[in-house]
Structure 1
Amino acid sequence: MLLTHRTVTADDATAIALLNCLVREVCAPDRQVWRDGGRLVLRLPRAGVRLRAGLARPPVGPTFRLVPPVEERRGDAWEPAGWERIADLAAGELELATGRANPEFPAQVRDSRTALDAILAARAGVPDDPDPYLASERSLVAGHRFHPSPKARQGAPADWLPYAPEARARFRARWLAVRADAVAEGGDAGAFAALDAPPVPPGYRPLPVHPWQFALLAARPVLRRALADGVVRDLGAGGPLVYPTSSVRTVHVPDADLFLKFSLDVRITNCVRKNAWYELEGAVLLDGLLRPVFAGLDADLLAEPAYRTVSLADPRLYEGFGTIVRQGVRGLPGTPLLAAALADPYGTALAGLPALASPDGAARWWDAYVRLTLRPVLAAYLDHGVVLEPHLQNVLMTVDDDGMPVRAVFRDLEGTKLTAGRWDLRGVPDAVRAAVSYDAERGWNRVVYCLFVNHLAEVAAAVADLHPALDRDLWRTVRRALTGSGYADRPGVRALLAGVPFPAKANLRARWGRDADRAAGYVPTLNPL
């Protein structure tokens, strides 16, 4: 299975990501996008500026393939437009559209571009991961195609490259020995026992934390006092090697076949990646509630059976050292591959699967992929009131030796929610209940966006990159699967089949408004069903 990359530069990837956002969130809603031969032209409706880029092929559905060169209309001529110019134009348009400025925006775009450049340099000459699964997790060089700063992360590259999945980093966790009376934990505490932790003194328990996070919190007075008093002992780096996955802060521990979801007080794209106390408790709560649900679904959910942290007189430490254990992948049928790697336009993971070598094979592959992904998500929501978050980085697809899909695997309970009113959550703390719940409309929008726009549309586009003649047939396959899913009579599904626009998450507008990811809105986008 090939997991190399097509040629990509930081400048081009940054420019194209900005254009993707402008098309989806600014220009298309105002009908200011049109094709001109082999190019796509977009007009910023308030600034009156026209931009254009090449089209790899005609767009089908809510996604498209823009390619360099990117140009701006000046007078009677088209002139080259670099990523900095596009970022400035986007900022000007959004200020006119919203009536407020955001001086942080250009710096975030610049930081993302700088990070991408550092990632590309760090990958050069470094051998790929021999494990196809790990290679897929660590292949997302350019990141989210519809985000203005997909690789933005806090700190200089020297701070984070040692922990960057895209740089194929590996490291050992920082281990703390925490006195038993200063430990807070939930779920099955034995889940941590599978880790080859350094020995701890009697009466203490081992706690793995991210080395970067330890460095960020080491100066906290309460931690320094706990270390001086022996309540917490710093054991240093040790234990098995861990491999950061696509989320950066979640690492795979192959020796134990587990994942550790670390807390990390660092902003990556939209969010500071901290395990809030209610998210620690919510993970264990959802783990118990969802196991019976998935027992009846033709899919798997990676369990999150336990968390552990320190209980000291500093909430920052409680949340900052909170670590969640997640089930591994060794028992899954077939070889798991990250869906985002299969959809990556700059990667070749999909082209490396023998099953897609011919158009007929690709059509069969897509039919299996859609059935395995679509029905469990709909069943979870419509039958059980469970809002899965099946975006590309939250889904693994296991494949057989030819690369044919075998089973969909969902993960990350932070993004999984329960439909309010469908579950008895009496006795659950208010903050935890709020964190794990969505109202029905919000839940349905999240399901439709993640499943159709973020996921299936992007994988379909990657299949069409290999076999362009299949492009429209791919969405006919989705329609057949939706019609035959057993849910075609439900109002929301009927609306989709009738062509109601898909909701697309507005990442550009969320960044401009400095909104939390949970508060991001949606814009309507084309429904090809």
Structure 2
Amino acid sequence: MIEADISYADVACQISARSFLNSLMREWTGWSLVPSTGPEGEPAPPVLRIPLPSRDSSVAVAVVHLSGVGQHVFRLPFREHRAGAAPRIMAFAEFAAAIACEPAIVGPAAGSQAMAAATFLRRVFQSAAAVEDVLARAPARSIALHRDPGFLEAEQALRFGHSVHPTPRSRDEFTLEDARAFAPEYGRGFPLRWWSAAPEAVAQGSSRAETAAALSADLAAEDPAFDRRILAASAGRVLLPMHPWQAARLALDPAIDALFRSEALTDHGPAGTPWYATTSLRSLYAPQARFMLKHSLNLRLTNSLRLIKAVECARGLVVDAVLAGPVGAEIAARWPRFHVLGEPAYLALRGPDGRVLPQTIVALRENPFRGPGQRPAAVLAALCEIYPDGRGSALADTILRVAEGGGTPEAAALLWFERFLDVAVGPLLEIQCEFGLLFGAHQQNLVIGLEDGWPAEAFFRDCQGTGYVREFLPALREAAPGLDLEAGHLFGSAEAARIMAYYLVVNSIFAVIGAIAIAGLASEAALTRALRRFVEALAEKDLRDRTCLRLLLDAPTLGSKGNFMICFRNINENTDVTDPLAGYVPMPNPLVSDPLAAFAEARP
């Protein structure tokens, strides 16, 4: 797929073009597929054709894997065709610029549109440069070829970002030096920077018996490398574990400077055992710590500025409390291999006016992957990420390894997929159908516990985004009296079904199907049939609300987040979006009909 001797820049363009094109094809319908033949008339991959009316031309690129779940693979170069002229090769940067300036794709070329195009292209090029730097400085590790990976090595194995996004590795405000120091794919740890604050300058919340301040102090006290002089110097104050990148920027914040000047805030400097970024960048992990840490960062990653809101912290506490009661007990009893990582506490500074400063928020998240002998586990996004060769993946390596125990790779792939559905997908769907809890289980929020390569457990993280199905509120209030369920996202069952269909099915399950099919281990058709059988079996159960299941089985299209236009329009999902469904675009539902049937004429 990719020649062994081409440059890192060329490989980065191959990888970046795949995510760019997959996102474009989801949202814009003006493309077409045309048959292709080789120089001797032999069959060749079909060609994706993208018309550019403003240039009086079209651009073509070979499609080496055509996917009904939207996980296509392409082979560069791009070639621009114009009547009366020989085709000319276009670099990825030129192609991206042509798309961003094409009114037929992005809209009229008005002044604001030109500014949007400039910002968009800056992020596209920054993302490609970040991928190139990772290829050059962080060589790939085969995390699953010979054994099951540990939690941290899998978090650090996600190198290229979102597979359906035009700027999968864009990180506004981050320099390449920042990325090399703090991004997970470079594999470097760093100590936290510790501040202490007067209690009146701190906002905190906890759903546990211990206060957030006590839990934070325990993180420091339980770290054998932590400087005990800091513990003594901070007596009577609240210790705040700060991300060092964020702490450096907060020092320039007038509200923070005022706290320092009044001595309500003290900087004790870096201390303790190294912490490591996970795939979300702002969530940090230390192997010995009871909790992971999720920090606000003044940083835009892909579509969002990564500042935590106080209401998100409240959601985390409520979900933790709900799961500590009878609802959680029933979930644990029915699905003992499925776990929700609670977010039971948060800390933040208050400004001189007493208001919470969201840029200082840090939330605590349960860490089941600690200590010696920790269980193997891998975030789903790292398992599914396609290698630079355009074919392999850690998931493919895992399936080939388990196939060595007997049977064909195809049989192993189908069995692995079925076990994944049992362990991870079934609980998430049934919990929504039976209890009205909506977990946003996209690829980076699902961690799969592995046992000799097979899915054995599933862990969901990021409770701050949890929603509730409105029709279940009376039952939830009865089971969890006194909790502010309205602090969470509230959706009607039809809305919740569409959201679950995107996060769990389009984003997560389709990535698994894509990775298996791209590697040639099983066909997408066989995998989607297995998925349909699984959902049909769930729909036959006595569940309170089958809306989501019926959507998956009956709807001709499913909603997919419109990452291309969200990114192009410079929408900050964290602040500019009140209706998450507003940015969804339809894609054919492969559980209902074969999307590739419409492409049949493109096959030579």
SS of 2:76 mapped into structure 1:
strand
Q: 1:405 aligns with which of 446, 455, 464?
A: 455
In structure 1, the partner of 2:264 is 231
Q: 2:351 aligns with which of 308, 312, 325?
A: 312
In structure 2, the partner of 1:152 is 170
Q: Structure 1 residues 212 and 12, CA, compared in 2 at 3 Å: closer, same or farther?
A: same
In structure 2, the partner of 1:528 is 590
Q: 2:510 aligns with which of 457, 461, 483?
A: 457
Equivalent-residue separation in structure 2 for 1:50 and 1:127 (angstroms): 39
Question: Residue 448 of structure 1: CA displacement?
Answer: 0.3
In structure 1, the partner of 2:596 is none
Is 1:355 equivalent to 2:373 in the alignment? Answer: no
In structure 1, the partner of 2:32 is 32
Equivalent-residue separation in structure 1 for 2:434 and 2:285 (angstroms): 32
Question: Residue 284 of structure 1: CA displacement?
Answer: 1.1
CA RMSD of aligned residues (A): 3.0
In structure 2, the partner of 1:3 is none
Higher Rg: 2
Q: Structure 1 residues 175 and 35, CA, compared in 2 at 3 Å: closer, same or farther?
A: farther
Q: Determine if contact 1:501/1:525 at 8 Å carries over to the other structure.
A: yes
Equivalent-residue separation in structure 2 for 1:316 and 1:253 (angstroms): 31
In structure 2, the partner of 1:264 is 297
In structure 1, the partner of 2:443 is 392
Is 1:83 equivalent to 2:92 in the alignment? Answer: yes
Moved more, 169-178 or 222-231: 222-231
Q: 2:62 aligns with which of 38, 54, 58?
A: 54
In structure 1, the partner of 2:136 is 121
Moved more, 237-246 or 496-505: 496-505
Question: Residue 480 of structure 1: CA displacement?
Answer: 0.9
After the TM superposition, which residues 332-371 of structure 1 pair with which residues of structure 2 at under 5 Å, given as runs? 334-346=375-387, 348-353=393-398, 354-357=401-404, 358-371=409-422
**Ranges in structure 1 where 5+ consecutive residues have no aligned partner:** 1-5
In structure 2, the partner of 1:494 is 550
After the TM superposition, which residues 60-459 of structure 1 pair with which residues of structure 2 at under 5 Å, given as runs? 60-75=68-83, 77-93=86-102, 97-99=106-108, 101=113, 102=116, 103-124=118-139, 132-155=150-173, 156-187=175-206, 188=208, 189=211, 190-197=214-221, 198-199=230-231, 200-292=233-325, 293-297=327-331, 298=335, 299-313=338-352, 318-330=357-369, 334-346=375-387, 348-353=393-398, 354-357=401-404, 358-400=409-451, 402-423=452-473, 433=486, 436-459=489-512
Q: Among all aligned residue pairs of Structure 1 and Structure 2, give the percentage whose two residues are the same amino acid.
A: 26
In structure 1, the partner of 2:572 is 516
Letter in 2 for 1:512: F
Letter in 1 for 2:532: R
In structure 1, the partner of 2:11 is 9
Q: Structure 1 residues 452 and 49, CA, compared in 2 at 3 Å: closer, same or farther?
A: farther
Q: 2:49 aligns with which of 39, 42, 45?
A: 42
Q: Structure 1 residues 206 and 90, CA, compared in 2 at 3 Å: closer, same or farther?
A: same
Question: Residue 31 of structure 1: CA displacement?
Answer: 6.5
**Ranges in structure 2 where 5+ consecutive residues have no aligned partner:** 1-5, 37-43, 222-229, 592-604
Equivalent-residue separation in structure 2 for 1:92 and 1:413 (angstroms): 39
Moved more, 380-389 or 284-293: 284-293
Deviation per CA, 1:187-221: give whole Å up to 9, x if none: 13243344135414321121101111111110223
Equivalent-residue separation in structure 1 for 2:303 and 2:80 (angstroms): 28
Is 1:507 equivalent to 2:515 in the alignment? Answer: no
Q: Structure 1 residues 355 and 314, CA, compared in 2 at 3 Å: closer, same or farther?
A: farther
Q: Determine if contact 1:355/1:362 at 8 Å carries over to the other structure.
A: no
Question: Residue 491 of structure 1: CA displacement?
Answer: 4.4
- How many equivalent residue pairs? 519
Equivalent-residue separation in structure 1 for 2:355 and 2:245 (angstroms): 15
Q: Structure 1 residues 444 and 49, CA, compared in 2 at 3 Å: closer, same or farther?
A: farther
Q: Structure 1 residues 126 and 301, CA, compared in 2 at 3 Å: closer, same or farther?
A: closer
Question: Residue 516 of structure 1: CA displacement?
Answer: 2.9
In structure 1, the partner of 2:3 is none
Deviation per CA, 1:300-342: give whole Å up to 9, x if none: 1001111112223268972112111101123899421110011
SS of 1:242 mapped into structure 2:
strand
Equivalent-residue separation in structure 2 for 1:338 and 1:312 (angstroms): 37
Q: Structure 1 residues 128 and 410, CA, compared in 2 at 3 Å: closer, same or farther?
A: closer
TM-score, normalising length: structure 2: 0.79
Q: Structure 1 residues 325 and 510, CA, compared in 2 at 3 Å: closer, same or farther?
A: same
Moved more, 255-264 or 153-162: 153-162
Deviation per CA, 1:156-192: give whole Å up to 9, x if none: 2123321111111210111011122222110132433
Letter in 1 for 2:158: L
Q: Determine if contact 2:216/2:241 at 8 Å carries over to the other structure.
A: no
Moved more, 487-496 or 82-91: 487-496
SS of 1:514 mapped into structure 2:
coil
Equivalent-residue separation in structure 2 for 1:221 and 1:74 (angstroms): 56
